Amino acid sequence: MKEKHLTPAVFHILLALSTEERHGYAIMKQVEEDSLGRVKMGPGTLYGSIKRMLDSGLIEESEARIDPKMDDARRIYYKISGSGEIALKDELRRYSHLVKLTRKLGLSFVA
């Protein structure tokens, strides 16, 4: 069976949801922070990815609302699913292997 890799957008969304449930705008801000400003996900990419991730079972809509008094009730929160956690861990293992390989080959640019 061929191993399936995550797209960069899906990877970043799963990473953002790995620590807490978030709504769309919070996901966009977390992705930007996690990538040190290198990845700026627009609404089209974000919500297109979210739809596909919901359809494939990588994420789920959350019932929880962080603070209903302070939050817009229309916001939909998302959480990573069990299969999303597995997919993220698999991708992180793949990245870890690639970092080790680049170091072995003397190509590492990481301090």
Question: In angstroms, rounded to a whole number, what is the distance separating the alpha carbons of residues 107 and 24?
Answer: 36
pLDDT band at 1 (very low <50, low <70, confident <90, very high): very low
Q: Would the pLDDT of 66 be above 70?
A: no
* Beta pairing class for 77-80 and 59-61: antiparallel
In the block, tokens 């817009």 appear at 72
Average pLDDT over residues 36-43: 92
Q: Would the pLDDT of 67 be above 70?
A: no
pLDDT band at 107 (very low <50, low <70, confident <90, very high): confident
Ordered by where they begin, the domains of the chain are 8-104 (1.10.10.10)
pLDDT at position 3: 61
pLDDT at position 110: 59
Q: Would the pLDDT of 108 be above 90?
A: no
pLDDT at position 68: 58
Average pLDDT over residues 18-37: 95
CB contact at 8 A, 78 and 21: yes
